[in-house]
Amino acid sequence: MSAANDKSTAPRLHIENVYKRYGGRTVLDNIDLSVTKGELCIVVGPSGCGKSTLLRIVVGQEQTSAGDVMIDGEPVALPDASRGIVYQKYSLYPHLTALENVLLGKILEYPFYRRRSAIEAHRDEAMELLTRARIAEHAGKYPNELSGGMQQRVAIAQTLIKRPRIVLMDEPFGALDAGVREDMQVLLLELWEAYGMTVFFVTHDLEEAVYLGTRVLVLSQYYTDDRGPAAGPARGAKIVADHALPRRAMPTVAKSAPEFTELVMQIRHEGFDPAYLRHVRDFNLEHPDAFQTLTPEEDGHAVSGAESSSPSSPGRETSAPSPPGRNASSPSPPGRGLG
């Protein structure tokens, strides 16, 4: 049994040999990823590279064309409570107050005749989350009485009350003004530390990615392999870089540090520059949990043989084994877990 399938040692999220095709066009091309519990994993890449498609696959809203996606060793099927989701557009009901919107996630778990008692049973928990989100004083207000940043705070609390194993965020702060956006980034880091959350976060903002992430994945269609130019639309985006960042929340002043700016520029060069075409064998996969499987067509220099093949995909060449879990040198974030 591989580590990804052994539930006792399985990573929180495991993706292997994943493809997504629409007709003759490949969007995601042999994606490999392993995310351990407690990571704040950020995905960036050029427009149209498939960032949101990858997130929807993890949610269960889209199916892969090929490959495996697992949460805690269990195959992902339809959307369920194990995967919380926060979108850019606030997922609030206009006829419910902020408190009622947060409670809704718990209330719907109960049969109709028990929902009144469920409200009382979980009211304190909902208020705790609104307090953590610094919006408790607005608990009785309706969405149209709240600013965009306030609504997104409620939406995050609404997601967390269900205690998902992984929180998926699709450009959640993209519609907010710069100042409010930065406040929300700080709030997310506070919640991540307090609850030990595992977060899979998609953004187009490279500064946001480097500031928030313990790990930054660069998804890009700008690379080369041994399939040659004739591959055309059959070649989709891959993870071309996988950066490990410090596992701690930073003050916003860190954004002005030279090393912060240098990393932002490096990521822009690695994934957003059409003229920078690194070969698949030379991707910058520095994170200790990074791994890569390549087909013989992608890597013409691959050595054939059973001992170098991925056990879950015969005939594929693996540049690094799928990790069994958290790297020993990476401490868990403080606080209690959501999963």
pLDDT, tens digit (0-9, with 9 covering 90-100), for 22-62: 988 999 999 999 999 999 999 999 999 999 999 999 999 99
Which carries the bigger pLDDT value, residue 230 or residue 212? 212
Instruction: Using a pLDDT cut of 90, give the percent of the chain over it.
Output: 66
Instruction: Using a pLDDT cut of 70, give the percent of the chain over it.
Output: 84
Q: Going by C-beta distance under 8 Å and a sequence separation of 6 or more, which residues neighbour residue 214?
A: 39, 40, 41, 244, 245, 246, 247
Contact call for residues 316 and 293 (beta carbons, < 8 A)? yes
pLDDT confidence of residue 101: 95
Q: Which domains does the chain have, with CATH numbers?
A: 1-82+166-339 (3.40.50.300), 90-163 (no CATH)
Q: Record the pTM.
A: 0.84
- With 0-12 / 13-18 / 19 or more C-beta atoms within 10 angstroms meaning exposed / middle / buried, residue 338 is buried
Residue with tokens 């990573």: 11
306's tokens: 């059973």
Contact call for residues 33 and 54 (beta carbons, < 8 A)? no
Banded model confidence at residue 85, pLDDT cuts 50, 70, 90: very high
pLDDT, tens digit (0-9, with 9 covering 90-100), for 264-309: 999 999 999 999 999 999 999 999 999 999 989 888 765 444 344 3
Residue with tokens 């030279």: 258
pLDDT confidence of residue 311: 38
